[in-house]
Structure 1
């Protein structure tokens, strides 16, 4: 019977749990998605050739998850506080009817448990679907062709367990706090749980105009400093720029307490239409205490939009970067080639990698210690030299033109090897000159004839075999390794951006939604008065919609302006290593705002409308 009452209360009060349920569901979904990354096809591919990058991403996600769990715990506790405030009269009625305090506390604990289980189930279901979408997004970034299994839905049991553990701890804290709050509450406090309404204090127009102009001037100065100085100059002026931007945002919302009302008053068609006067005066009265929170919400939205857009649209031009750093499918360097020259192709064949069959082109090239007396016409004196015939053969493997003997000696910066030690600065000399120099090491470069992944696995096995590795000191560098390292960097930026961006977005939307629902509860008596004065229900509903829209979209509009300026500065930095795909970043960011922010907006509007009608 007691459990049935708890279930009935949850079902009946689901309208009050709307924002609370959304916050829990989005939190569970987000937590599951980014803790199930190791099950994604892209991470499995990354683990094969760049294991340390995959481990770094997973470790980073663990650190972020701890941070996110703290943020979500704060949001859940904040939402629970709002619910307790909304239900004080109901709880007081239970006590007035003779129900013991401990049973009221137990009732709330059961209700919290039920709503938590429902949110956990819904969040995990949504998380599996969103994880699949994120997997498809990352698959589209790889040039490698994925297997059919990569496109299927994946359920990570480990991520489910981790999510349940973290949110179980959060729910235990909420249930303990709820029980403690009820046990310490007095009956009179519960019966008189409503808040006092704030009195409107209208400010002179000139002060609002001056405040608005001062805010605009501060924002303009901050924008100019950001665009001129850029994002990378972290000094005292950088923090001054942040302070100016924050102060400008604060003054902008502070000015709305008089500026917006006086501005619309001059437009009688808007001010006197429907309940326009009521809506604006209500907004004007609230801004005295909410402009600080609106500033904080605007800055959170700025972080959400900026981080998401930069990281989601980041295109490191991986293919071109890989071509530059890895001109061949693989290179093997023999560091002991000066003392033990080795026939590397024959040695590979003897250890299970048939170079005649597996390669469509290859070249064994000695690298020489350069004579200090040899220099290029430009004056460069690199310490590595390569013979003209070897250089032209290597360029042929790359599909590039070689050099003529009349152009020698010549300093070149094209990498000779694949990987970080690719000799990007060396001297090309005639063959007869090279014959007089001492060998420094050997370089064997080649391109695979068939499937790259299969050929590379066979090559790595051959190089790692004792019969090969014991003949010298070797270093293997491959195109796939370089590609995966570049890909890992991009994935890390993408996952970090999406994770943090969504957390900031949920935090901003949840705080704003709870604030508006609390204000709707305060305004309930005013809407009842409007009803008694003859205002039809549709007109009152439109007034609620206008109030919620002002609260949600004013911070969003200014955050979009901030983000546009910030993205312009960020593009200048990113252009040094890649480019920003503005279409992709805008589409992904808009989709997240539409889904998350839009869901909170709708939940807040329907909740506020229900309260204004007297149903809540």
Structure 2
């Protein structure tokens, strides 16, 4: 009997609670997909570093999945709570038929098991197929070649998904037992007839709270925009504007219910039109009751948009940096007293590894502090005030002319010449190059080793020498005789391997690491190779993209589901009121229009404030992207908008149609 009742309940509930079932299936699908990333490497040709990246990403996804499972667990329990409230009258009838709490709990247990099996099966089925498509995305992300497209199945992700969701469903069942034990038959049977008391806050209090919320949000925006570098360098003071944004958001929704209704009431023509009187009181009541959850939804939408747009942009920038790097096989950074070439020849047989290499030094000036702010005009400083390197007044390094020309020859590029008393400049921060060029055009003098220098006729050059993360705001090139009195240099050696490159790379790394371990404390030796650097950058880009997509999607789904369930719950609670409107002569078209407007207002309100937050949030994202290397984020914003429209808009449409079905 219990199984028969449970099946009928599920069939009936499936029509009314499409949102709940869709969320369960979507949650299982996403969970499996992102935990099956490691299985996708079977289709790709990987070197040692790339294989290690897959292992690291798999470990990271496992850790993030614990957080995601907690979030999804909360969401499922939250959704289940609304379903329990929706079925109060049904449970009241069970009580009047002689059932006790234990028998109702048994029915709910069977329902939970059947729903769980159905959701897991369909979610895993969709997840397995979605993971096949993810392999193509992964190969593009890591710039890898698909050796052959194979159907992959991750048994590890399969078992993990089942295990995590079994725990969640068990907690849901316990929650149901607790909820049923607190129910009273008389309250269940009369629940739909109870009127909710709408508590209108003092208009004066609401206006003061609203002004205070705007003030808190404005303060947060001002602090962030005045010094965006605090985000990049993880400054502790970043917690201050974050706190102001959170407080301001909560105060905004807290105050909204106090004057929104009164504001519309002041326009009698609008307030008394069609069902606006009924509709606005419904919206006001819902905001008044759920301002806390609406505030959380607003903040989650904001984070979701920034994560998706920012994550994809940062990933694209990191991948683009690899394409812009000079094509050499290995680089060694050294800061010892001996010239780098002499030191390495003394400790390493360079001839065994290469016949094609070059060394160069970068110096710091002793005569005057050469910071970027000292060189460019005040107008340019103001123009680039949000640029991290301008804010930190990055020091300008100096390079010998002979070293520069040697490097250019190694990179198969043309060198330059300098007359006595001249200097040239290059950098790799594209947005700063016009400001540097203006100083060159104005013949800005610099002082090196007691000698005043003027710029040559050569315009500022865009050159990347060794930075994976572009960080050279400016470097001056001077004649060799001017560098003898400068601060001891950082020395670099770049080379191309001869023979078996893979073998030589491993051997060189082993030798340099051995030297580094046995060195004196004041000596630093760092060796990186092209393949290792590429793998590290692609790995970092992959981590950023996966985290942004994984967490961003989860936050977006949670936001949409919370709004959807609250709106569906309100509609269910007000069935009797809608019936009364029908008796008063309101036709279906007008009722549907009222439901559409009510649902739209409820979905748009948190979205509206979230988009305002995003104007500042995406500005910070742009600063971070520019710190790593300038790239146009328009495409990433369009992709984010498309994802947002599909998921958020989809849940809105399902909610609207679900509410209409309830009224029928």
What is the deviation of 1:123? 2.1
In structure 2, how many angstroms separate the alpha carbons of the residues matched to 1:312 and 1:592? 13
Matched, 1:92 2:134: no
Matched, 1:539 2:537: no
Q: Relative to 1, partners in 2 of residues 1:44 and 1:265: Cα closer, same or farther, differing over 3 Å?
A: same
What is the deviation of 1:498? 1.7
Give per-residue Cα distances to partners, 1:332-391, cap 9 Å, x unaligned. 9999743466474xx57xxxxxx9xxxxxx5156899x9x9xx999999xxxx9996x98
Residues 43, 147 of structure 2: 8 Å contact kept: no
In structure 2, how many angstroms separate the alpha carbons of the residues matched to 1:271 and 1:491? 52
Give per-residue Cα distances to partners, 1:578-597, cap 9 Å, x unaligned. 24543233223223322322
Match of 2:169 in 1: 171
Q: Relative to 1, partners in 2 of residues 1:188 and 1:540: Cα closer, same or farther, differing over 3 Å?
A: same
Q: Relative to 1, partners in 2 of residues 1:47 and 1:123: Cα closer, same or farther, differing over 3 Å?
A: farther
Matched, 1:363 2:340: no
Give per-residue Cα distances to partners, 1:147-191, cap 9 Å, x unaligned. 2535x6543232122111111111122223324543564544544
Match of 2:289 in 1: 289
Partner of residue 160 from structure 2, selected from 159, 162, 167 = 162
Q: Relative to 1, partners in 2 of residues 1:427 and 1:254: Cα closer, same or farther, differing over 3 Å?
A: closer
Partner of 1:534, secondary structure, is coil
In structure 1, how many angstroms separate the alpha carbons of the residues matched to 2:631 and 2:466? 29
Structure 1 unaligned regions, length at least 5: 349-354, 356-361, 431-440, 449-454
Match of 2:496 in 1: 446
Residues 257, 287 of structure 1: 8 Å contact kept: yes
In structure 1, how many angstroms separate the alpha carbons of the residues matched to 2:323 and 2:421? 26
In structure 2, how many angstroms separate the alpha carbons of the residues matched to 1:221 and 1:189? 47
Match of 2:81 in 1: 81
What is the deviation of 1:35? 0.7
Residues 2, 106 of structure 2: 8 Å contact kept: no
Residues 377, 409 of structure 1: 8 Å contact kept: no
Partner of 2:288, secondary structure, is helix
Partner of 2:148, secondary structure, is helix
| TM-score, length of structure 2 as denominator length | 0.73
Equivalent residues, number: 575
Residues 25, 122 of structure 2: 8 Å contact kept: yes
Match of 1:61 in 2: 61
Give per-residue Cα distances to partners, 1:505-539, cap 9 Å, x unaligned. 22222222222222222212111110111111221
Matched, 1:49 2:91: no
What is the deviation of 1:312? 2.1
Match of 1:146 in 2: 145
Partner of 1:15, secondary structure, is helix
What is the deviation of 1:558? 1.0
Match of 2:380 in 1: none
In structure 1, how many angstroms separate the alpha carbons of the residues matched to 2:541 and 2:506? 29
What is the deviation of 1:64? 0.9
In structure 1, how many angstroms separate the alpha carbons of the residues matched to 2:89 and 2:638? 45
In structure 1, how many angstroms separate the alpha carbons of the residues matched to 2:267 and 2:497? 74
Q: Relative to 1, partners in 2 of residues 1:343 and 1:31: Cα closer, same or farther, differing over 3 Å?
A: closer
Match of 1:20 in 2: 20
Match of 1:459 in 2: 501
In structure 2, how many angstroms separate the alpha carbons of the residues matched to 1:407 and 1:401? 20
In structure 1, how many angstroms separate the alpha carbons of the residues matched to 2:61 and 2:23? 20
Q: Relative to 1, partners in 2 of residues 1:13 and 1:44: Cα closer, same or farther, differing over 3 Å?
A: same
What is the deviation of 1:577? 1.5
Partner of 1:445, secondary structure, is strand
Q: Relative to 1, partners in 2 of residues 1:254 and 1:45: Cα closer, same or farther, differing over 3 Å?
A: farther
Match of 2:414 in 1: 401
Match of 1:526 in 2: 577
After TM superposition, list the pairs within 5 Å mapping 1:126-275 onto structure 2. Answer: 126-142=126-142, 144=143, 146-147=145-146, 149=148, 154-182=152-180, 185-194=183-192, 196-202=194-200, 208-230=206-228, 232=230, 238-265=238-265, 267=267, 270-275=270-275
What is the deviation of 1:51? 5.0
Q: Relative to 1, partners in 2 of residues 1:587 and 1:155: Cα closer, same or farther, differing over 3 Å?
A: farther
| TM-score, length of structure 1 as denominator length | 0.78
In structure 1, how many angstroms separate the alpha carbons of the residues matched to 2:183 and 2:200? 37
Give per-residue Cα distances to partners, 1:484-517, cap 9 Å, x unaligned. 2112222211112222222222222222222222
Residues 332, 476 of structure 1: 8 Å contact kept: yes
In structure 2, how many angstroms separate the alpha carbons of the residues matched to 1:306 and 1:418? 27
In structure 1, how many angstroms separate the alpha carbons of the residues matched to 2:658 and 2:107? 23
What is the deviation of 1:563? 1.0
In structure 1, how many angstroms separate the alpha carbons of the residues matched to 2:323 and 2:579? 70
Alignment RMSD: 4.6
In structure 2, how many angstroms separate the alpha carbons of the residues matched to 1:335 and 1:160? 57
Q: Relative to 1, partners in 2 of residues 1:418 and 1:238: Cα closer, same or farther, differing over 3 Å?
A: closer
